[in-house]
Structure 1
């Protein structure tokens, strides 16, 4: 390996799944340093993101009560799809500097998970579950509730930021690379208040909006300005909806009152006419199901839709043949929440968050 050009080594390592890539850190000091190289980090992330629809990785979150200590304890798990379309589950062990036992997962961005600790005045943290690196974000306005949160990455500024909106009257941004909170002004739009309904696309964090209606509130991470994106022409029905990302495009999952789920995708970003109803999940034949109990997780490359049902089961849906299929699962917790995730080497701390360096040969 020492005789290979650095570009070839990076090309090989960037195609590895995240777990064997993490193990490369233990091979030698040069490999350890290489896994910290921003060029490899970005190359691996781009490759993993482009192939995630073939074999999606899920992060599962569950909270149980410890009766001996009379307290709640949250856990994270990796759920990976096998070549036989079954799922295996592995717990993620990490240590929080503040020994925080309970948390919620509010989102995933480029391998980083955004966690909310509801029992400690809304404190938040960011963790890469693959590398186990975690940072606690300094508390802000303790005791005051947030109506919107999110984590976003801007390719323009190459920066990760955490966003908090308070009572529609103030917005604060925390830069992971600079390590400070800053107030950037108040939005003139109302966010729905569902803290988990946020996604980052094209360097912009999005939330569902109550006002103006039929629109999505968005915050540009690089320019730090608010805007709105309209829903499809004619608006959405009254059954409820959530936001998602499909193949790098902004998506809306619409829950209709007739027990159907429509998946809308904005093919061209911020172009209202590009909204397309790409899939419809008809639950009428699943006579015991209610669409409100279904969470659409992702659309796979083969066209099948992966869903979570009632916090307890995973299902595939083939929209072409309108067939539901339940995969075999191993080691799953009894009840869980789920978020689609891309394993990466991205660090939540500023030690590895910098602009990609040019490749240098030996």
Structure 2
């Protein structure tokens, strides 16, 4: 197969099946336009199992948000071109569209949005041209009306560049990874509106490690 590329990956767990899955999206140019299909690998099974067309189009992004037994990416509705959240259920292996906040629809076509999981909620992060980051939380999963703008990270000047909120601590500090640069882990105090650099002794070169959250964010 020619002219294909992989543009989105994800790793997640489904509590109903007790299975871990790696999922990748493969894109290919067709006479009718771009086509994307999903391929997946279940931990403990011998081969990639899924080969299913994606009814939506996923944006180019380095990771998926794993939440509620599904992987989530920003994507595009093929019918009207609007920006949406696309979910892929790890049990049924079906796609769904997750509603986005009404207050954000006029800005969603910009490239500086991300889907993440924070504080036990599916969230959207709007980087506002990297001057600040507004974090919208879906307090009840799947319910459009439950979206609220819960956090604003500012001043954001010290965190210019691609970044990723990782975790909300009990003291309302948000751990943030500033990607691609050394010493890239920060804590932002929501109450004090202050950013702190977190220094880790004997850390390997930045290109050889990545920050991940391994604590259950729903507790």
What is aligned with 2:66? 200
- C-alpha separation in 2, matches of 1:250 and 1:173: 22
TM-score w.r.t. the length of structure 1 is 0.50
Secondary structure of the 2:206 match is coil
What is aligned with 1:159? 19
Tell me how large the CA RMSD over aligned residues is.
2.6
What is aligned with 2:41? 174
- C-alpha separation in 1, matches of 2:160 and 2:148: 21
What is aligned with 1:341? 213
- C-alpha separation in 1, matches of 2:139 and 2:24: 28
1:319 equivalenced with 2:179 (yes/no): no
Is the 2:118–2:166 Cα contact (8 Å) retained in structure 1? no
- C-alpha separation in 2, matches of 1:169 and 1:319: 39
Q: C-alpha displacement at 1:260, in angstroms?
A: 1.0
- C-alpha separation in 1, matches of 2:125 and 2:69: 21
- C-alpha separation in 2, matches of 1:205 and 1:294: 20
Judging changes above 3 Å, is the alpha-carbon distance between structure 1 residues 326 and 210 closer, same or farther for their aligned structure 2 residues?
same
Is the 1:199–1:205 Cα contact (8 Å) retained in structure 2? yes
Q: C-alpha displacement at 1:343, in angstroms?
A: 7.0
1:141-152 matched pairs, under 5 angstroms:
144-152=4-12
Secondary structure of the 1:331 match is coil
Q: C-alpha displacement at 1:291, in angstroms?
A: 3.7
Number of aligned residues: 200
1:308 equivalenced with 2:177 (yes/no): yes
Secondary structure of the 1:193 match is coil
Q: Give a deviation string over 1:101-147, Cα, whole Å, max 9, x none.
A: xxxxxxxxxxxxxxxxxxxxxxxxxxxxxxxxxxxxxxxx7984213
Secondary structure of the 1:219 match is strand
- C-alpha separation in 1, matches of 2:206 and 2:53: 38
Larger radius of gyration: 1
- C-alpha separation in 2, matches of 1:270 and 1:294: 26
Q: Which ranges in structure 2 are unaligned for 5 or more consecutive residues?
A: 28-34
Greater helix share, structure number: 1
Q: C-alpha displacement at 1:179, in angstroms?
A: 2.1
Greater strand share, structure number: 2
What is aligned with 1:233? 102
Judging changes above 3 Å, is the alpha-carbon distance between structure 1 residues 306 and 215 closer, same or farther for their aligned structure 2 residues?
same
Tell me which stretches of 4 or more aligned residues in structure 1 moved more than 4 Å: none
Secondary structure of the 2:161 match is helix
Is the 1:216–1:230 Cα contact (8 Å) retained in structure 2? yes
Q: Give a deviation string over 1:269-316, Cα, whole Å, max 9, x none.
A: 1111111211101126x4xx3643443222211101122346223222
TM-score w.r.t. the length of structure 2 is 0.79
Q: C-alpha displacement at 1:256, in angstroms?
A: 0.4
